Amino acid sequence: MIKRALISVFYKDGILEMAKFLRDRNVEIISTGGTYRYLKENNIDVIDIEEVTKFPEILDGRVKTLNPYIHGGILAIRDNEEHMKTINEKGIKPIDIVIVNLYPFFEKVKEDISFQEKVEFIDIGGPTMLRASAKNFQDVVVISDKSDYEEVMKQIAENGDVSYEFRKELAGKVFKLMSSYDGAIADFLLD
């Protein structure tokens, strides 16, 4: 059962429809920075990440989601009594769906901008949330590609949840993306 979502996307295409779909199913939505503002401006009830983390965004946005209130909610195994006891004791709520796309490093590395400007497009929080969600795919639906929004919405509409098989496929897509992303960063730094 999907009760809580975290949405943090650089590319907003299709996210409003997805957020409305989740809202209409009483899913609590947490969001960050630009995504938070975008959803708010479009009348989506959304919780600012700082309200969840109990800590302000710092270092020009470099640190905002790297927090136990986020990663504990993502990584807790729902069938593990100790995990659930721990997060309950710590006041951490499970996060059931994570929708993240990354800073456009693939594009920016090709632009005529300074080395340091390119470095700033290396996403840290996004890959960390994606990896954590993909690792715990049996409990967390992870979406890194907007082309998967439609199938996720279809499965939730029909079954109230997303199948194990599709969750596993989505997790595989995340690790494939991470491999490419990390490879592009390595190539850039080793060039």
Q: Answer yes or no: is pLDDT of 64 > 90.
A: no
Q: Answer yes or no: is pLDDT of 41 > 90.
A: yes
Q: Give the integer Cα–Cα distance in Å for 148 and 44.
A: 21
Number of neighbours of residue 174 by Cβ within 10 angstroms = 24
Residue 68 carries which side chain, given as an amino acid letter? P
Task: Tell me the domains of the chain and their CATH numbers.
Answer: 4-190 (3.40.50.1380)
- Do β-strands 97-100 and 4-8 pair in parallel, antiparallel, or remain unpaired? parallel
What is the pTM (predicted TM-score) of this model? Answer: 0.92
Q: Give the integer Cα–Cα distance in Å for 159 and 162.
A: 7
Mean pLDDT over 21-49 rounds to: 94
Interhelix angle for 164-190 vs 149-159, to 10°? Answer: 160
Tell me the per-residue pLDDT of 81-140, one tens digit each, with 9 for 90 and over: 999 999 999 999 999 999 999 877 888 788 888 989 888 888 888 999 999 999 999 999
Supply φ then ψ for residue 189, to 5 degrees.
-75, -30
Q: Give the integer Cα–Cα distance in Å for 25 and 38.
A: 20
